[in-house]
Amino acid sequence: MEREDPLERLERKEQERKANGGAKTVMYAMIAVAVLLAGALAYVLWQKNSLVGELEKDKAALTEQIVALQGDYESLSSDYDSINLQLDSSREEVAQLVERIKKTEATNRVKMRQYEKELGTLRSIMRGYIVQIDSLNQLNHKLTVDAANARKDADEHRRMNEKLTAQVEDLTGKVATGSVIKARGIRVEAYNSSGKMVDRSKNVARLMVTLSLVENALAEPGPVRVYVRVKDPDGNLLSDGRGATFTYAGELLDATASREVDYEGQEVELSIYVNNIAAYEKGIYSAEAFTSQAKLGSAEIMLR
């Protein structure tokens, strides 16, 4: 066997040592890089968690401010309908803002900045409401004082004119009462188709209500319409089919028939016919006569 040259052996060992040393150096470098990368990753994660935590705090603070503003809007009130309508609209906007921020992630910084702007706008609007309500309250106070002074003056003048007013009202009432047209001699008669007066229900073709408007110099002259309401034995109102209506004592009433006459303050006799009634029954028929001012009277007729 050939023996290895000692110099070659030493050179080979030196090369092996250098090769092993280089591998170790590379390994140590890679370990160092891995440690640095791990540290950097840990730092980044820490920064991210720290940033998310700050954003969550910012969101919580913003939410708290919006909720506080919502409470301020709820406590704000006024005595003015127009402002109350505006307040209701603003309260709805704040409520919607509260719901939106609760559903938005804290990391959505664009939305958070938008909510901050909306919060500022709603605060400005609320300050405007407060100024407006305060101004209206001051104006209302002034008007109240002015009204109180005006009432005081009015009361003084009213006391001075009280006796005269009472006298005028009394005279006015007497004139109004005296000017109402009255009637007398109201009666109801039944006629057959030949114009003969009858009292049997089966022979009746029409009824006639007759009355006289009495003389009244205080009554206003001119056309006067007289309405009659005729009811059958069962209390049902008869109608001639013309649909006449009138107002009496504030109530709209249906009339059986009506007629207009020219009244000049002198006595006028008139008759009003009730036609177009299909059939008459046995019993008592009642008739009432009216003008738009008063009830003139009533009468009855018995049909056999």
CA 198 to the chain's CA centroid: 61
Residues 46-66 have a mean pLDDT of 77
Better pLDDT: 70 or 198: 198
Q: How far apart are CA 280 and CA 177, in angstroms?
A: 38
Better pLDDT: 199 or 112: 199
Residues 72-101 have a mean pLDDT of 85
Chain-wide mean pLDDT for the chain? 83
In whole angstroms, how far apart are CA 24 and each of 18, 20, 27, 28, 31? 10, 6, 5, 6, 10
Give the pLDDT score at 47: 61
The region of weakest confidence among 3-12, 163-172, 201-210 is 163-172
Give the pLDDT score at 171: 41
pLDDT interval class at 20 (50, 70, 90): low
Q: Does the pLDDT of residue 226 top 60, yes or no? A: yes
Q: Does the pLDDT of residue 37 top 80, yes or no? A: no
Residues near 203 by Cβ (< 8 Å), separated by ≥ 6? 192
Residue with tokens 């901050």: 116
Give the pLDDT score at 283: 96
Better pLDDT: 174 or 120: 120
Q: Does the pLDDT of residue 213 top 70, yes or no? A: yes
Q: Does the pLDDT of residue 277 top 60, yes or no? A: yes
Give the pLDDT score at 89: 85
Burial pattern 232-248, b for ≥16 Cβ within 10 A else e, equals: beeeeebbbeeebebeb
pLDDT interval class at 175 (50, 70, 90): very low
Give the pLDDT score at 174: 41
pTM of the predicted structure, to 2 decimals: 0.44
Per the DSSP assignment, residues forming a β-bridge with 251 are 248
**105 SS3 class:** coil
Domains of the chain listed by start with CATH number: 1-155 (no CATH), 183-303 (2.60.40.10)
Give the pLDDT score at 54: 81
Give the pLDDT score at 173: 44
